[in-house]
Structure 1
Amino acid sequence: MNQPTDDSLTAPTEIRVAVVIERHARPSAWEEWRFSLAEVLIDEGQWGNQPRCLRDDGQRASFLYPGFPVRLHRDEGEGYYLNLSSGAPVWFVMWRIDDENASQAAPETVTLSYNEAGRLLDAQERVDNLPLPETVRAWLQAWTDANYRPEPKKRRRPASFVDPSRRGPRDDAPECA
Structure 2
Amino acid sequence: MAQSEIQTPAGDASPLDVAVVMRRERLHGPSSHWQPWRWTLAEVVPDEPGFGREPRLLHQDDEEQRWLHPGFKVELFRDEAEGYHLNVSSPAPCWFVLWRMEEEATVAAEPIPRPVVVTLSYYEAGRWLDAQETVEQVPAPTEVVTWLRQFVDAHYVVEPKRRKRPESFRPLTDRFGNAASVSTEKPRGRGAGDV
Match of residue 22 from structure 1: 23
Asked whether the equivalents of residues 9 and 15 of structure 2 are also in contact (C-alpha less than 8 Å), the reply is no
SS in 1 for 2:92: coil
**Structure 2, gaps ≥5 residues long:** 1-6, 172-195
Match of residue 181 from structure 2: none
SS in 1 for 2:97: strand
Q: Which structure is higher in strand share? A: 1
Deviation of residue 103 (structure 1)?
A: 3.7
Asked whether the equivalents of residues 40 and 91 of structure 1 are also in contact (C-alpha less than 8 Å), the reply is yes
Taking the aligned partners of 1:57 and 1:127, their CA distance within structure 2 comes to: 26
Q: How does 1:1-177 map to 2 (within 5 A)?
A: 1-2=7-8, 4=10, 10-25=11-26, 28-101=32-105, 103-156=111-164, 164=168, 166=170
Asked whether the equivalents of residues 2 and 12 of structure 1 are also in contact (C-alpha less than 8 Å), the reply is no
Identity of aligned residues (%): 47
Asked whether the equivalents of residues 18 and 66 of structure 1 are also in contact (C-alpha less than 8 Å), the reply is yes
Taking the aligned partners of 1:32 and 1:104, their CA distance within structure 2 comes to: 15
Instruction: Please tell me the residue identity of whatever aligns with 1:30.
Output: W
Deviation of residue 49 (structure 1)?
A: 2.2
Tell me the TM-score normalized by structure 1.
0.80
Tell me the TM-score normalized by structure 2.
0.73
- Give a deviation string over 1:72-105, Cα, whole Å, max 9, x none: 0111111101111222111000011111246411
Taking the aligned partners of 1:136 and 1:155, their CA distance within structure 2 comes to: 36
Deviation of residue 166 (structure 1)?
A: 4.3
Taking the aligned partners of 1:88 and 1:140, their CA distance within structure 2 comes to: 13
Deviation of residue 13 (structure 1)?
A: 3.1
**Structure 1, gaps ≥5 residues long:** 5-9, 168-177
Alignment length (residue pairs):
159
Taking the aligned partners of 1:49 and 1:21, their CA distance within structure 2 comes to: 15
The root-mean-square deviation of aligned C-alpha atoms, in Å, is 2.3
Taking the aligned partners of 1:21 and 1:155, their CA distance within structure 2 comes to: 47
